[in-house]
Amino acid sequence: MVPGSDNRWFSVRIMPYRTHENKIDGLVITFTDASVSKALEAALRQEETELRELADSLPQLVFSSRADGSIDYLSRQWLDYTGVPEPEQLGDGWLRQVSPEDRERVRTAWSAAVKSGATFDSEFRLQSADGVPRWFKTRAAPIRNAQGLVQKWYGTTTDINDIRQQRRREGNCQREPRAYWKALSDCRFVAGRQPGDYVFQSRGGTTFRTKTRRGVWK
């Protein structure tokens, strides 16, 4: 394309001019007004720039991929967290930052989502720049054209490491009383040495001691 003197853009096409004897006897040059397509191209570039600026302002790790699932953009937060340059993580390079324990599971789930066009939703550990993995929840949705074909994928990755730790602590708290009472149900009562001192001894020899105060078990 070449610019005109009145701020319009033109698409230039040059073809050989041939005689009836099929000999080249000159050139044919055509100019087609391409101002509209040029303006649309500029608008799309501006929109993409604004989207990336928005993504960089979010606390989540943001990414996008082409229709085939190949990553083509990673937000500043993603790059800062992993400490790996963007070129090394494009395509399927981002999977190298997923913890080895989760990598194949994530690769399989991502491939299945891309193939089916379904929303990708997964939790996995992502290596940080200091080498300590943290748990993240990642969701990615396809963007479709008017014909329903996937054109792009956009996704966010949210740090849920603290939530996962809290879940584990709560799970431990729920399991420990059950384990205690299960063990206690398999015990025989042994009188304590002091009033209000109750001792139970399991068949395996483990001893549990508890006291009561005003009729309330402690």
Q: Among 2-16, 108-122, 187-201, which stretch is predicted with the lowest mean pLDDT? A: 187-201
Q: For 179-201, what is each residue's pLDDT tens digit?
A: 555 555 555 545 555 655 555 45
**Rounded-to-integer distance, Cα 153 and Cα 142, Å:** 4
CA torsion 151→84→49→44, rounded to 10°? Answer: -30
> Which whole-number Å values give the CA distances from 39 to 88, 107, 182, in the listed order?
33, 39, 74
In angstroms, rounded to a whole number, what is the distance separating the alpha carbons of residues 187 and 198? Answer: 12
**Does an H or E element contain 210, and which?**
strand 207-213
With 0.85 as the threshold, say if the pTM is over it: no
How is residue 142 written in tokens? Answer: 């396809």
Domains and CATH numbers, the chain: 2-33 (no CATH), 48-164 (3.30.450.20), 186-217 (no CATH)
91-112 pLDDT tens trace: 999 999 999 999 999 999 999 9
Those residues whose C-beta lies under 8 Å from the C-beta of residue 116, and which sit 6 or more positions away, are: none
C-beta neighbour count of 61 within 10 angstroms: 23
